[in-house]
Structure 1
Amino acid sequence: MTQTNFIGIGEIEAARERIAATIRLTPVNVSDTLSTIAGVPVHLKLEHLQHTGSFKLRGAANAVSLLSDEERAAGVVGVSTGNHGRALAHAAKASGVRCVICMSRLVPQVKVDGIRALGADVRIVGRSQDEAQAEVDRLVAEGMTMIPPFDHPSVIAGQGTLGLEIVEQIPDVDTVVVPLSGGGLIAGVAAACKARNKDIRIVGITMERGAAMIASLKAGAPIEVEEQPTLADSLGGGIGLSNRYTFAMTRDLVDETWLINEAQIAAGMRHAYWQERQIVEGAGAVGIAAVLAQTFKPQGPVALILSGGNVDMKQHFRVIGGEDVDLMKELA
């Protein structure tokens, strides 16, 4: 296993102490219906109930807490598909730090509004995360500090605290199913879980439309992919051609990665609502979707991370009502 630029268990444990007063220890529920389908116990890690509605607060809070006085004075900036921006805005506001969030036009309005409500300056730039990143780079050149959504050691360590909670709440967990995007969550969770038990299997699930990490893993190096409208909008965006951490960590620590389609994501959202009584965004429902579709073969107690709940409620209403919601056609 290559160890260059890996985040270790010591950094994750330190992050947990640092952010303990900021985050919520989210609960775990057993799903009877999913357990029956899988043939093994299926546990739902309800991280969509985290403050700001997603796991992203863990990494953002850890990164903001480590800023120097000079960096705090200059302010922070980040690019986001929604949840990282909301988390960074929340953490920055709590610390009295100026925050600018740059986003593409593909980000749902509900997420833009949520970030603005937290006092951040939101700038909409282009139709991709890479285009929004150009505005971030300009602000960094002017002196602001960038806190990226995933490829940053403090962010990865913060997300890894979720893995520590899982192995403590589900001591016999065999497989942890993680929504896969830029890799910050899966890298941190995998590092934490495998440090506690090297035999825990880490499975990454993402959508077919614009799966940047899976495409990069197949290519053997970070590559660009076209971003496309998807119900799992939080999983959109590239991994960065100069990726320093999450590509290697995902490559070396993640056991399996799988793609699911839009109909399967919608089925996951519907199941979360009607069977589990949880309002979960598309990205947070991909693990449920994979179990329903029997995408992977569970081998023991499974933990599914429901990573976020910041969904446009009009879209959610349409999906849970059974409508065929195809954002590609609607946004064409």
Structure 2
Amino acid sequence: MLPLERLQDAQRLIADTLAPTPLLLDHVLSERIGRRVWLKGELFQRTGSFKPRGSLHWVRTASREELAGGLGAVSAGNHALGLAWAAGQLGIPVTIVMPENASRFKVEGSRALGAEVILHGDINEAWEFMHRLVEERGLTLVHPYDNERIIAGQGTVGLEILEQAPEATAVLCPVGGGGLIAGIGSATAALRPGLSLIGVEPSGAASMAHAWAQGAPSRLKKVETCAKSLAAAIVGEHSYPLCRETTQAMVQIDDAAIGRAMHHLLYQAKLMAEPGAAVGVGALLEEAVTLPPEGDVVVVITGGNMSREELTPFL
């Protein structure tokens, strides 16, 4: 796991710009499962997700050489928004390649923050194109999840949870490429090793469970899920071992369950969370997780970036 001091350094480095996000008590879900369920509101963070934490930490720890030629990234959307915003604080140009089916809301939002956004193929083809751009333009690649500086920044979510929820015995975390759960796991393993950290993936993009089964990151042949923010075809060389070491269980839910979780968050919790942010709540609603016998439960609500058209199917 990443050293605790590294997470704490990241927290100090970004604290002047990124405020802690709140824990909100989900009364309906708490009554349903018979214990307090807290929602960690990362959808209230800058640019609407947890991603600016890692991006700002990366930018603020970058060398002049890394910044000199501009930055490049591949993203389904939230990393694009977070990196465009963070780089914009220093006036650093950013080029983002996004899959053609990326959220138009996130595409236009990234462009509004100053990024050059190129739509290209599916997520695997987008990565191939970005690697060509890195060579042609001299860009520095800022990986959305497979970078220890990014992971350390995301780990500040874990530090905040432990400060805000002293009675928590379980944390449910959405998993795409694994950067967030790797960071949270580094915090919980260091400060509260008895806590149960549970990863939740969409069944159509269960790249971390696939890596666990294979014993190493292994690319999925097909990714198909409504939770586009979690649609990573392969987890990271850094995020995989950190997740494997610090996470107690990985579970998956299907798109129908994600839809029910979206409905709950909208109408019961009053939160407009995106599909990828709803999977932890979905796992509780579907009784897909085994929780410790007592204690509070924290569910990370990772983001809330979507257009009216994307929201409509869940109303």
Same-fold status (TM-score > 0.5): yes
Q: Match of 1:209?
A: 204
Choose which of 11, 20, 31 in structure 2 pairs with 1:16.
11
Alignment deviations for residues 1-24 of structure 1 (CA, whole Å, 9 cap, x no partner): xxxxx4221111000011112212
**SS where residue 228 of structure 1 aligns?**
coil
Give me the whole-angstrom Cα distance separating, in 2, the residues matched to 1:31 and 1:263: 21
For the Cα contact (< 8 Å) 1:60–1:87, is it kept in 2? yes
Q: What do residues 272-313 of structure 1 show as CA deviations (whole Å, max 9, x unaligned)?
A: 010011100000011111111111133221000000101232
User: 2: distance between equivalents of 1:195 and 1:124?
Assistant: 40
What are the within-5 Å matches in structure 2 for residues 287-302 of structure 1? 287-299=280-292, 300-302=295-297
How far off its partner does 1:117 sit? 1.0
Would the alpha carbon gap of residues 61 and 227 (structure 1) be closer, same or farther in structure 2, given more than 3 Å must change?
farther
The CA distance in 1 between the partners of 2:156 and 2:115, in whole Å, is 26
- What amino acid maps onto 1:24 in structure 2? A
In the superposition, the TM-score normalised over structure 1's length comes to 0.91
Establish whether residue 70 from structure 1 lines up as the match of residue 56 from structure 2.
Answer: no
CA offset digits 1:301-328 (Å, max 9, x no partner): 10000001012322212312xxxxxxxx
Partner of residue 100, structure 2: 105
Indicate how the Cα distance of structure 1 residues 51 and 134 shifts in structure 2: closer, same or farther if over 3 A, else same: same
Q: Distance in 2 between matches of 1:84 and 1:118?
A: 12
Q: Which structure 2 residues correspond to residues 1-40 of structure 1 after superposition, within 5 A? A: 6-40=1-35
Note if 1:135 corresponds to 2:129.
yes
How far the C-alpha of 1:134 sits from its partner, in A, is: 1.6
Pick the aligned partner of 1:259 from 249, 252, 255: 252
Mapping 1:154-193, distance limit 5 Å: 154-193=149-188
CA contact (8 A) 2:220 2:234 kept: no
Using the alignment, how far apart are the partners of 1:227 and 1:27 within structure 2?
36
Q: Are residues 1:272 and 2:265 paired?
A: yes
- The Cα of 1:114 is off from its aligned counterpart by 1.0
Where does residue 228 of structure 1 map in the other structure?
A: 223
Q: CA separation in 2, counterparts of 1:244 and 1:319?
A: 34
- Residue 43 of structure 1 aligns with which residue? 38
Q: Which residue identity does 1:214 align to in structure 2?
A: A
Match of 2:312 among 292, 317, 323: 317
Distance 2:65 2:122 in 1: 33
Partner SS for 1:174: strand
Percent of counterpart pairs with the same letter?
36
- Whether the 8 Å contact between 1:227 and 1:237 is mirrored in structure 2 is no
Q: What CA distance in whole angstroms lies between the structure 2 residues aligned with 1:53 and 1:170? A: 22
- Cα offset for 1:197? 0.8
Quote the RMSD (CA, aligned, Å). 1.2
Give the secondary-structure state (helix, strand or coil) at the position aligned to 1:150.
Answer: coil
Deviation at 1:106, TM superposition (A): 2.4
Could you say if the C-alpha distance between residues 66 and 96 of structure 1 is closer, same or farther in structure 2, counting changes exceeding 3 Å? same
Residue number in structure 1 paired with 2:139: 144
Give the whole-Å Cα distance in 1 for the aligned partners of 2:20 and 2:257: 29
TM-score (norm 2): 0.96
Give me the whole-angstrom Cα distance separating, in 1, the residues matched to 2:229 and 2:222. 11
Unaligned regions of 5+ residues in structure 2, if any? none
219-228 vs 36-45, which moves further: 219-228
Tell me the SS of whatever aligns to 2:171.
Answer: strand
Q: Give the 3-state SS of the residue equivalent to 2:209 in structure 1.
A: helix
Cα distance in 1 for partners of 2:2, 2:132 equals 28
Letter in 1 for 2:174: P
Any conservation in 2 of the 1:151–1:182 contact (CA below 8 Å)? Answer: yes
Task: Give the Cα–Cα distance (whole angstroms) in 2 for the partners of residues 267 and 298 of structure 1.
Answer: 20
CA distance in structure 2 between the aligned counterparts of 1:24 and 1:236, rounded to whole angstroms = 28
What secondary structure does 1:45 align onto? strand
Q: Is the 8 Å Cα contact of residues 217 and 237 (structure 2) preserved in structure 1?
A: no
Measure, in 2, the Cα distance between the counterparts of 1:312 and 1:102. Answer: 20
SS of residue paired to 2:24: strand
* Equivalent residue, structure 2, for 1:239: 234
Q: Once the two structures are superposed, what CA deviation does each residue of 1:90-114 show, in whole Å capped at 9, x if it has no partner?
A: 0011111010011111212111111
| Distance (Å, rounded) in 2 between the aligned partners of 1:298 and 1:70 | 47
Aligned to 1:327: none
**SS of residue in 2 equivalent to 1:29:** strand
Give the CA deviation at 1:224: 1.1
17-26 or 161-170, which moves further after superposition?
17-26
**1:218 aligned onto 2:210:** no
Q: State the 1:227 CA deviation.
A: 4.0
CA contact under 8 A between 1:38 and 1:294: conserved in structure 2?
A: no
Q: Say if 1:89 and 1:120, in contact at 8 Å, map to a contact too.
A: yes
Per-residue CA deviation, residues 71-122 of structure 1 (Å, 9 max, x unaligned), is 2221111110110011000001111101001111121211111111111001
